[in-house]
Amino acid sequence: MKIGIMVSEGPYNHQASDTAYLFARTAIEKGHKVPRVFFYHDGVNNSTRLTEPPTDDRNVVNRWSKLAEDHGVDLVVCIAAGMRRGIKDEILAPGFRISGLGQLVEAGIQCDRLVTFGD
């Protein structure tokens, strides 16, 4: 099964990003495909390499980058939401790219399910 994911909450102010990551990782481990994760609204804050959590805390951004590297997951940041929050290409963490809402629509069409995390 192909599963698209949308994350609309930031990495440290809501559990949505952690839950989405764990869901994606588990789905892949169970043999499903997760071709794309779309970050929307405050979810775009999951993409910045400027995040520096304490060493004893999880690094949510690095988790997403590693998932993209290891499994070829396309991590797409909404351009409009990103611009409103100061997210630009030069501060994106590895594996993330900026694009438009068409990428979310495409994931909804091409995947068997589109699962959303956050408000």
Query: Distance (Å, rounded) from C-alpha 10 to C-alpha 27?
Result: 21
Q: Three-state SS for 14?
A: coil
Query: Distance (Å, rounded) from C-alpha 110 to C-alpha 107?
Result: 5
Active site residue 78: yes
Query: Distance (Å, rounded) from C-alpha 110 to C-alpha 108?
Result: 6
Of 60, 73, 76, 78, catalytic: 78
Per-residue DSSP letter, 16: H
Residues labelled as active-site residues = 78
